[in-house]
Structure 1
């Protein structure tokens, strides 16, 4: 399952922290950011993704996150 999110993450260092936290919830997944994209895309490729957990985690770190439709 692949989910794509629009975020307001700006820095590579912020990406690393978020990816590390997401890997705690989805240990065998592929997670990456595309900061070059205008929507600062977050892609999560994992089994059994919970959009609400991902959104809540980013919100807890002070970032906006929404599912990109």
Structure 2
């Protein structure tokens, strides 16, 4: 399953740190950012379902805003 989020992350260093933390916290998630996109995309790939509400809540701990990006 793939879930795509619009974020307010605009720094490559912060994005890298968040990806590392996501991989540690949500072991079945593979994350990456596309900061060149106007929505500063966070993509989560998982072999199981992505619980968007949990990830959004977790990101708030790092002062990050995320919302599901609808196609």
Could you say what secondary structure the match of 1:36 adopts? coil
Matches within 5 A, 1:1-69: 1-46=1-46, 47-69=48-70
Displacement of 1:22 in angstroms is 1.1
TM-score by length of 2: 0.87
Structure 1 residue runs of 4 or more that deviate by more than 6 Å after TM superposition = none
Displacement of 1:43 in angstroms is 0.2
Q: How many residues align?
A: 69
TM-score by length of 1: 0.89
Unmatched segments (≥5 aa) in structure 1 = none
